Chain A
Amino acid sequence: QEQLQESGPGLVKPSETLSLICTVSGGSISSYYWSWIRQPPGKGLEWIGYIDFSGITNYNPSLKSRVTISIHTSENQFSLKLSSVTAADTAVYYCARVPVATYFDYWGQGTLVTVSS
């Protein structure tokens, strides 16, 4: 059974770049799609983007200009970079597996990232 674990700084300053890594265990990252999803405190889920095993990406149009998702197959990891962050980017960030680009079947536990000076 796949397990996913997010890691990265819990505090980022405004205008800087948020960087997170998702480590996949229990299976190979060289299959499926892999996604980032976030949830502001007390609010709903927002899809950020996904990457497939070959490195092809698709991003939420509302975040596309600031988002980069990369895959690191040798480490069985994929990563998220979100640039020029503001307080509105404060959220719990989840990574998830996407079997066929239509639903999310395995999720990480989530990591809270706060944007504040």
Chain B
Amino acid sequence: QSALTQPASVSGSPGQSITISCTGTSSDVGSYNYVSWYQQHPGKAPKLMIYDVSNRPSGVSNRFSGSKSGNTASLTISGLQAEDEADYYCSSYTGSSTPIFGGGTKLTVL
């Protein structure tokens, strides 16, 4: 069971939009609309930002959006703000009823 593939790092300037990809296989991302995204600031617990590919929990800014095409899911952050600088992890449900995580992406706000 290999981890989902994410870019190690992405960066953007305040106000810009960035997209983080999360690539899996036909056994996980490609087969289920059960991709979730988590934001983690240093020393803090992860926070759910997106679930079931594109749903936002109550209280999460609408600057965060999710999508999926084939075996790749994406998280887009629009109107980038300094507070968005964090690590981001994707997760997907798999055919064996177990979730797997991506390796994580460090977002730097320039």
CB distance from B58 to the nearest CB of A (A): 10
A94 close to B51 (CB less than 8 A): no
Q: What separation, in Å, do the CA atoms of A99 and B75 have in the docked complex?
A: 21
A107 close to B47 (CB less than 8 A): yes
CB distance from A15 to the nearest CB of B (A): 26
Chain B residues contacting A46 (CB-CB under 8 Å) are 101
Q: Mark A99-115, 1 if CB is under 8 A from B, else 0.
A: 00111110111100000
Give the number of chain B interface residues (Cβ < 8 Å).
26
Given A103-B36, A104-B48, A105-B57, decide whether A58 and B97 contact each other with a Cβ distance below 8 A: yes
Partner of A107, one of B45, B57, B93: B45
Tell me if A61 is interfacial: C-beta within 8 Å of chain B. Answer: yes
Partner of B97, one of A62, A101, A107: A101
Q: Mark A77-117, 1 if CB is under 8 A from B, else 0.
A: 00000000000000000100000011111011110000000
> Closest residue to B50 on the A side, CB-wise?
A103
Q: Looking at chain A, what size class is its interface with the partner chain?
A: 10 to 19
Chain B residues contacting A110 (CB-CB under 8 Å) are 45
A102 close to B48 (CB less than 8 A): no
Within 8 A of A (CB), among B21-53: 32, 34, 36, 38, 44-48, 51-52
A47 close to B100 (CB less than 8 A): yes
Q: Mark B51-92, 1 if CB is under 8 A from A, else 0.
A: 110000100000000000000000000000000000001010
Tell me if B14 is interfacial: C-beta within 8 Å of chain A. Answer: no
Q: What separation, in Å, do the CA atoms of A101 and B96 have in the docked complex?
A: 12
The chain B residues found within 8 Å of chain A, CB to CB, are 1, 3, 32, 34, 36, 38, 44-48, 51-52, 57, 89, 91, 93, 96-104
The chain A residues found within 8 Å of chain B, CB to CB, are 44-47, 58-62, 94, 101-105, 107-110
For the A-B complex with A44-B89, A101-B93 known, give 15 more contacts whose Cβ atoms are closer than 8 Å.
A44-B103, A45-B104, A47-B99, A58-B98, A59-B98, A61-B1, A61-B98, A94-B45, A101-B97, A102-B52, A103-B99, A104-B36, A107-B45, A107-B46, A108-B45
- Which A-B residue pairs are the 10 nearest by beta carbons? A103-B36, A102-B34, A107-B45, A103-B51, A45-B101, A44-B104, A102-B93, A44-B103, A105-B48, A47-B99
